[in-house]
Amino acid sequence: MKRSTINQIIREADRFIRSFNYVLPPFAYWSPEKLAEARPPGIVDARLGWDITDYGKGRFDDLGLFLFTLRNGNARDLTCGRGMLYAEKLMISRKNQKSPLHRHVIKAEDIINRGGGQLVLELFMADAKGDIDRQAKVTVPTDGVMRELPTGGLLKLDPGESVTLVPGVWHAFWAEKKDVLIGEVSTVNDDLTDNVFAEPIARFSDVLEDEPPLHLLVSDYERIDEFKKVPRRAL
């Protein structure tokens, strides 16, 4: 993805989030230089912040997702059952923009329609090997009520509704009617190792640096020192 495209998506996402009277935390608006100089472990090591992906396919409008990680614990704490064991994200799924079929090994998550259009999830159970089970019915809790769907069934969530996905449940999702603001509350999030995709695909995008970054992405943190003295121009 071009950095100019990423910058524009950030601007549009911020406006969309604010339209629901939701404001991101202060560090969301730090310059790349400030974040690189300060380098707070609670932000950089926890991989909090902006996350925009086209899954390496270059078709963000129909295969992509906007995410912002608001808080995240440490996976090591899961083994002892104490500490910050949770994470929270905001996401934006654009109308008819698909997030591809995947599952998680560790993470359990609530996916919440916070407003906008209708959020549609395609769901499959996993077999004993973790592969897609194309025969088993799907059973998931939706706001405390169990729902049963056929394999590959479509679960449609209106604003205010949510679904709980335990590790192993295969899911893809997209917005219908209009863009959707999505909330995610989960156990500790690890996007580097805990995403299993049904098809070969990249979790993060390669970035073509055609202009300076408005804000850093979590995928920029591996080379964060490069942004300490970036020449700036009007964005």
Q: What are 46's two structure tokens?
A: 């926890």
CA separation for the pair 104, 106 (Å, rounded):
6
Query: What confidence tens digit (pLDDT) does each residue in 58-94 have?
Result: 999 999 999 999 999 998 899 899 999 999 999 999 9
Confidence of residue 231 (pLDDT cuts 50, 70, 90): low
Asked whether the predicted pLDDT for residue 232 surpasses 70, the reply is no
Query: What confidence tens digit (pLDDT) does each residue in 115-169 have?
Result: 999 999 999 999 999 999 999 999 999 999 999 999 999 999 999 999 999 999 9
Helix (H, G, I), strand (E, B) or coil at 179: strand
Contact in structure between 198 and 132 (CB atoms under 8 Å): yes
Asked whether the predicted pLDDT for residue 230 surpasses 70, the reply is no
CA separation for the pair 202, 87 (Å, rounded):
22
CA separation for the pair 62, 221 (Å, rounded):
26
CA separation for the pair 157, 142 (Å, rounded):
9
Tell me what pLDDT residue 228 has: 87
Asked whether the predicted pLDDT for residue 6 surpasses 70, the reply is yes
CA separation for the pair 188, 170 (Å, rounded):
18
Query: What confidence tens digit (pLDDT) does each residue in 19-35 have?
Result: 999 999 999 999 999 99
Helix (H, G, I), strand (E, B) or coil at 78: helix
- For residue 188, the tally of other CB atoms under 10 A from its CB is 20
Residue type, 230: V
Q: Would you put residue 65 in left (φ > 0), alpha (ψ -120 to 50) or beta?
A: beta
Confidence of residue 229 (pLDDT cuts 50, 70, 90): confident
Parallel, antiparallel, or unpaired for β 162-165 and 109-126?
A: antiparallel
Domains and their CATH numbers in the chain: 3-227 (2.60.120.10)
Average pLDDT over residues 197-215: 96
